[in-house]
């Protein structure tokens, strides 16, 4: 795919995330006023991750166009840093966290939506915004993976970074419960302490599996193994 269409596509995706974030923050929901605000929800954190990631993609594209035909070594070095940051975010955050949010949300939603997205939220969040937060993330990140080859870090470093993110978020959820006495997700209210530990361990394993899926898919698309 040509460079210019890719640039336009990334810019459009970035604008869509900015629109989703602005509309979400404009909603007057009681949950936004409690401890942790929007930052206690993985969906919101993922939206920020995706917006930052595609912002870096757009910045990388612009830098690439500006440095084309330029012999400045300093600009070339800065461009390589941007590309490395873009690739790292794709591998460690954008793909595994994005895929995790989409698959986990809709799996639990289909089983019993009250455990993850109570029907009461329909009064605050329109259907299009719900899909913007929980559906389009997957095709957007797959489009990016298909249009651009991303250099993955070493597997040990990548998995360590993903584990750090997962454990950090789990500790954040537990801390919110410690402070407020309320779990961020209704699902956790129905689990015993022992089952919660198993659930958190399973969640960490799943997001690591999604990291490996992203690595394999990236290699398959771009045939980097040959």
**Sequence ranges of the domains in the chain:** 6-224
pLDDT in tens, the chain (226 residues): 454 578 889 999 999 999 999 999 888 888 788 898 999 999 999 999 999 999 999 999 988 887 776 767 777 888 889 999 999 999 999 999 999 999 999 999 999 998 888 898 888 889 999 999 999 999 999 999 999 999 999 999 999 999 999 999 999 999 999 999 999 998 899 899 999 999 999 999 999 999 999 999 999 998 754 4
Contact, 185 vs 116, CB < 8 A? yes
User: What is the predicted pLDDT for the residue at 116?
Assistant: 87
Looking at residue 1, its pLDDT comes to: 43
pLDDT value of residue 224? 55
Concatenating the DSSP letter of every residue in 121-161 gives GGGTS-HHHHHHHHTTHHHHHHHHHHHS------HHHHHHH
For residue 226, give the DSSP letter. -
Report the pLDDT value the prediction gives residue 87, as an integer from 0 to 100. Answer: 96
Radius of gyration of the chain (CA): 19
């Amino acid at each position: 795919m040509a460079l210019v269409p890719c640039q336009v596509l990334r810019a459009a995706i970035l604008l869509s995330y900015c629109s989703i974030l602005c509309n979400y923050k404009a909603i007057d929901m009681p949950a936004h006023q409690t401890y942790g605000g929007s930052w206690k929800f993985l969906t919101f954190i993922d939206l920020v991750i995706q917006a930052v990631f595609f912002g870096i993609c757009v910045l990388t594209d612009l830098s690439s166009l500006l440095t084309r035909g330029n012999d400045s070594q300093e600009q070339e070095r800065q461009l390589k840093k941007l590309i490395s940051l873009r690739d790292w975010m794709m591998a460690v955050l954008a793909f595994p966290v994005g895929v995790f949010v989409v698959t986990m949300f809709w799996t639990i939603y289909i089983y019993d939506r009250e455990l993850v997205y109570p029907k009461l939220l329909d009064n605050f969040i329109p259907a299009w915004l719900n899909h913007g937060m929980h559906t389009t993330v997957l095709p957007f990140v797959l489009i990016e993976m298909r249009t651009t080859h991303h250099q993955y870090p070493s597997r040990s470093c990548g998995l360590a970074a993903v584990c750090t993110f997962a454990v950090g978020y789990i500790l954040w959820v537990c801390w919110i419960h410690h402070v407020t006495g309320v779990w961020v997700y209704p699902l956790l209210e129905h689990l015993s302490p022992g089952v919660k530990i198993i659930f958190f361990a399973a969640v960490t394993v799943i997001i690591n599996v999604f990291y490996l899926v992203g690595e394999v898919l990236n290699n398959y698309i771009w045939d980097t193994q040959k």
